[in-house]
Amino acid sequence: MKYHENVLDLIGRTPLVKMNRMVDANMATILMKMEQLNPGGSVKDRMAIHMIRGAEQKGLIKPGATLVESTSGNTGLGLAMAASVFGYRCVFTIPDKMSKEKIDMLKAFGAEVVVTRTDLQHDHPESYVEIAKRIARETPNAFYTDQYYNMDNPEAHYLTTGPEIWEDTDGKIDCLVGGIGTGGTISGAGKFLKEKAAEAGRDLKIICPDPKGSIYYDLFNGREPSDPSIYTVEGIGHDFMVGTLDFSVIDDVRPVSDRDSFITARRLAREEGIFVGGSTGTAVFGALQVARELGSGKVVVVILADAGDRYISKCFDDEWMKDMGFLGLEDRLGTVRELLQFKGGHVVFASPDETLAEVAKRMSELGISQMPVEQIDGHAYKMIHEVDILHSLISGSCTYEDKVACAATDLQGQVGLDAPLSTVQNIFDGNNIAVVIDDGKIVGVISKLDVVEFLAARS
Ligand SMILES: Cc1ncc(COP(=O)(O)O)c(C=O)c1O
């Protein structure tokens, strides 16, 4: 019979999945480490079970003990899942900024949950960390797992996450990208990968996108942290330095806004079919930047930290996004790149050698009323519109046998690939079509009907 002894055997050995629609050919390959596929739904399952086993081996917990932790939710879920299997009791403190889904899931595993205020300094007696420590002190047979200083946390990733990534990339990884909560994931996996890369004589970078308002960016750059401000992304960033974070393995920390994090998480669901949380949006936003910088031929691995089901009432709720000011008109409409990916197909060009007759014939066969003309020796693009052909024939300025150049006009209505679709709306005020330019090349032509069909499908 083929079966696992219990659900905890399913932790780890998560796959790498290639990103397709959110990247282009000029970018490095992005491989996504699917940590949301762990049975508890996040990367934290690995360190949760490792902290419990470590405490058991050190004789710090006995059967029937109470595990206490201050958590943004996922460590709690990993601990609660393991506690259900091993018969431990759980008490968690969690700041009220965290999603209702996470709090309900913790209770579903049978844990006791104490919701605390988010807007308190970490050393305030009513902060989630201090309350947890107090509960652990005042509860008989209790153990505070203390994820922010427990070195079993990064060790779990040194022993599992790092080796899996090295093995599954055949050692060809050029950059690991991941967020920093306790720093356990990136410090443990990063340390292992840096060691392997050094052995193999390869250069490997560790880059950490971090929420704007977290102190890690300043600390990493050796600056006195400016006053931490509350940000909305959950699970990463912090307002105090922790023991489990090893800056020596990290090459860069990059601030990312809540809006970019949430918009990216929503795009992952809509363009890659991957349902993950806001902190993964932060990481992937950074990974897309890095992949553009490194260029094609390089390999970037990004950690997908947790599943999206715990944020239905948050970044996947349009009303919440609008209320929070993260979803403006332009976001609701999407981007030019999304429309072109939806539309598919390729741009039909007219050749400079074609006559007006030949172009007109192709236009009617294809049911289109304009075409960009292929560049001649790098000269600027031109456009040939059926209306200009008509005018030139009626005015006699051209004949049917003349080359397209006779009636071609300068390019109008140009728009970038990553521009919000709302930009195209303005172009349509004066033009029938918008011409999409990327890297100086025409990569798409958008008509009003294309936008209508895209928005209809999107809604
Ligand atoms: C959603 C989410 N993303 C990322 C992380 C970061 O993981 P680590 O604590 O290993 O830095 C956490 C940690 O709690 C998390 O909950």
pLDDT tens, N- to C-terminus, the chain (459 residues) = 999 999 999 999 999 999 998 998 889 999 999 999 999 999 999 999 999 999 999 999 999 999 999 999 999 999 999 999 999 999 999 999 999 999 999 999 999 999 999 888 888 999 999 999 999 999 999 999 999 999 999 999 999 999 999 999 999 999 999 999 999 999 999 999 999 999 999 999 999 999 998 999 999 999 888 766 779 999 999 988 999 999 999 999 999 999 999 999 999 998 899 999 999 999 999 999 999 999 999 999 999 999 999 999 999 998 899 889 888 666 667 788 888 888 888 889 999 889 999 999 999 998 888 999 887 666 677 899 998 999 999 999 999 999 998 899 888 888 888 787 888 888 888 888 999 988 788 889 999 999 989 888 877
Give 75 Cα–ligand 1 centroid separation in angstroms: 8
From the candidates 33, 44, 196, 205, give the one annotated as an active-site residue.
Answer: 44
Q: Which residues, 6 or more positions from 205, have their beta carbon under 8 angstroms from its beta carbon?
A: 174, 175, 176, 251, 252, 290
Tokens for 187? 């410090």
Give 445 Cα–ligand 1 centroid separation in angstroms: 42
Give 235 Cα–ligand 1 centroid separation in angstroms: 5
**Backbone CA torsion sign across 142, 47, 111, 92:** positive
Give 237 Cα–ligand 1 centroid separation in angstroms: 9
**Strand pairing partners for 372?**
383
Ligand 1: which residues within 6 Å by Cβ? Answer: 42-44, 72, 74-75, 179-186, 234-236, 277, 279, 305-306
For residues 454 and 443, what is the distance between their CA atoms, to the nearest angstrom?
A: 17
Tokens for 423? 């930009």
Q: Which of 428, 246, 456, 233 has the alpha carbon at shortest distance from 343?
A: 456
User: Taking the CA of residue 131 as centre, how many other CA atoms within 13 Å lie in the half-sphere pointing to its CB?
Assistant: 18
Q: Which domains does the chain have, with CATH numbers?
A: 1-327 (3.40.50.1100), 338-458 (3.10.580.10)
Our answer to whether residue 44 is catalytic in this structure is yes
Mutate to test the pocket of ligand 1, among 185, 233, 309 (most ligand atoms within 8 A of CB): 185
- pTM comes to 0.79
Give the residue, by CA position, lying nearest to ligand 1 atom 15: 235
Per DSSP bridges, beta strands 409-410 and 382-385 are: antiparallel
Give the residue, by CA position, lying nearest to ligand 1 atom 12: 235
Per DSSP bridges, beta strands 433-438 and 441-447 are: antiparallel
